[in-house]
Amino acid sequence: MRNGNPQQIRLAQLLGLGPVWRVRDPGGFAAPAEPRSAPRAAASPDPAAPTVADVETLDWDGLEQAVRNCTACGLCRSRTQTVFGVGSRDARWMFVGEAPGAEEDAQGEPFVGQAGRLLDNMLAAAGLGRARDDAPSVREAVYIGNVIKCRPPGNRNPDAEEVARCAPFLLRQIELLRPRILVAMGRFAAQTLLETEGSIGSLRGRAHEFVRGDLRIPVVVTYHPAYLLRTPGDKAKAWEDLCLARRVYSEQSP
Ligand code: SF4
């Protein structure tokens, strides 16, 4: 069995994915993702926007407080609370999504709704876990964050200005965590981490590199769990992506 132990296979079967979740061949990736609509036009600049210079010296607690108090874009007006991130701050894996939804906004934690349950099942099938107690070891612990820390009204796509203003928080999270691998879930995460306009379909299937200062972190791109809920036929491709991520991680962290 190349890509999973019996427990992982059983979990994959419980996901209703059958054997397609276990058979992987490096390089066997195809099928572009369904592109989402383009970001909206940028709003007027706000001098209160967080910048890299503002956040680059903050530690975890300072960064979390800065996010909690942030009013740098209009999303602060409609949020219940900010959604900073979850998971072990010793984690070697970091998964990055797009923005909080209604349940995340209510609970203050990323990926707690239906998409979050799917993500947890996928992590478990891959032998990973978001909290220290869920992970077999620190090697398998996952930290989860979003590009955007406040819920866009009606779960609309964040616009370009909102992404630009919120991204420094994510970049600082990555600097503090220094994960061994990044998994970008969805177009906004992939485009933000890789500074590209590429589609999910063009970015999947190979490892990229996140570069910032002295950091060089491999990035694997996959679908957002919310997309997989709408398009369950692509769950097998997401499993391919997780298997690729495991291989990349194993190669650099034997
Ligand atoms: S989305 Fe980000 S930049 Fe906008 S108010 Fe929330 S924390 Fe600040």
pLDDT tens by residue, 176-235: 999 999 999 999 999 999 999 999 999 999 999 999 999 999 999 999 999 999 999 999
Ligand 1 centroid, distance to 248 Cα (angstroms): 32
pLDDT tens digits, 101-120: 999 999 999 999 899 999 99
Closest CA to 200 of 231, 170, 169, 177: 231
Which superfamily does 49-252 belong to? Uracil-DNA glycosylase-like domain (3.40.470.10)
Helix segments in the chain, DSSP class H = 6-14, 52-55, 60-68, 102-107, 114-125, 160-177, 187-194, 200-203, 225-230, 235-252
Question: What are 102's two structure tokens?
Answer: 């209604």
Residue nearest to atom 3 of ligand 1 (CA): 166
Pocket probe mutation, ligand 1, options 83, 151, 165, 192, max atoms within 8 Å of Cβ? 165
pLDDT tens digits, 236-250: 999 999 999 999 999
Ligand 1 centroid, distance to 39 Cα (angstroms): 16
Residue 16: helix, strand or coil by DSSP? coil
Rounded mean pLDDT of the chain? 83
| Helix or strand (DSSP H, E) at 78 | none
Domain spans in the chain, listed from the N-terminal domain onward = 49-252
